[in-house]
């Protein structure tokens, strides 16, 4: 008999669920690391942007790894690497995790705020 154990809710490293991540417009890449701990088997992790699944065909890099702990539970980690674009401003990124012990995936999300470069000529428009 195989026993499945539900994993803990996933966590995007260094972020709280629903937080806004500010990214400079000129930043070359952003890595989001999602950890999902203590499941059996290890959780499958996938990513969504604005509720649409992300794959490497979307021009991103996704890495996945898992480890078995001494208590036979497993931790899973996925790293999503993206190049922030102006279209990402206000976009939600979700990390979803699932294993056979749960019906619906567990999730956590962040929102990107892509900081645009300040243009002095725009300030003159408002100071007239």
What is the longest distance spanned by two Cα atoms in the chain?
76
- Residue 5 included in any domain: no
- What gap in Å lies between CA 44 and CA 66, rounded to an integer? 9
Provide the domain count of the chain: 1
C-alpha closest to that of 31 among 46, 45, 43, 13: 13
- Tell me which residue range forms the domain holding 54: 11-126
- Residue 20 included in any domain: yes
Q: pLDDT, tens digit, for every residue of 27-36? A: 889 999 999 9
Q: Which residues pair with 114 in a beta bridge?
A: 23
Residue 40 exposed, middle or buried by CB count within 10 Å (0-12, 13-18, 19+): buried
Q: What is the CATH number of the domain that holds 118?
A: 2.60.40.10
Which residue pairs, CB below 8 angstroms and at least 24 apart, start in 25-29? Answer: 25/84, 25/86, 25/114, 25/115, 25/116, 25/117, 26/117, 27/84, 28/83, 29/81, 29/82, 29/83, 29/84
Q: What is the pLDDT of residue 26?
A: 80
What confidence category does residue 72 fall into, taking pLDDT thresholds of 50, 70 and 90?
very high
pTM over 0.85: yes
Q: What is the pLDDT of residue 39?
A: 97
List the strands of the sheet with 11-12, edge to edge. Answer: 11-12, 30-39, 74-82, 61-68
Give me the chain's average pLDDT, please: 92
Q: What is the pLDDT of residue 1?
A: 77
- Residue 2 included in any domain: no
- Residue 112 included in any domain: yes
**Contact, 81 vs 60, CB < 8 A?**
yes
């Amino acid at each position: 008999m195989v026993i499945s154990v539900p994993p803990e809710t996933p966590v995007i490293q260094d972020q709280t669920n629903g937080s806004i991540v500010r990214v400079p417009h000129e930043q070359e890449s952003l890595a989001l690391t999602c950890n999902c701990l203590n499941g059996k088997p290890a959780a499958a992790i996938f990513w969504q942007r604005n509720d649409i699944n992300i794959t490497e065909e979307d021009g991103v890099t996704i890495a996945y790894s898992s480890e078995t702990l001494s208590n036979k539970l497993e931790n899973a980690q996925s790293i999503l690497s993206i190049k922030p674009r102006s279209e990402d401003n206000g976009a939600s990124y979700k990390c979803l995790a699932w294993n056979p012990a749960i019906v619906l995936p567990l999730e956590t999300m962040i929102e990107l705020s892509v900081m645009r470069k300040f243009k002095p000529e725009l300030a003159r428009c408002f100071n007239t």
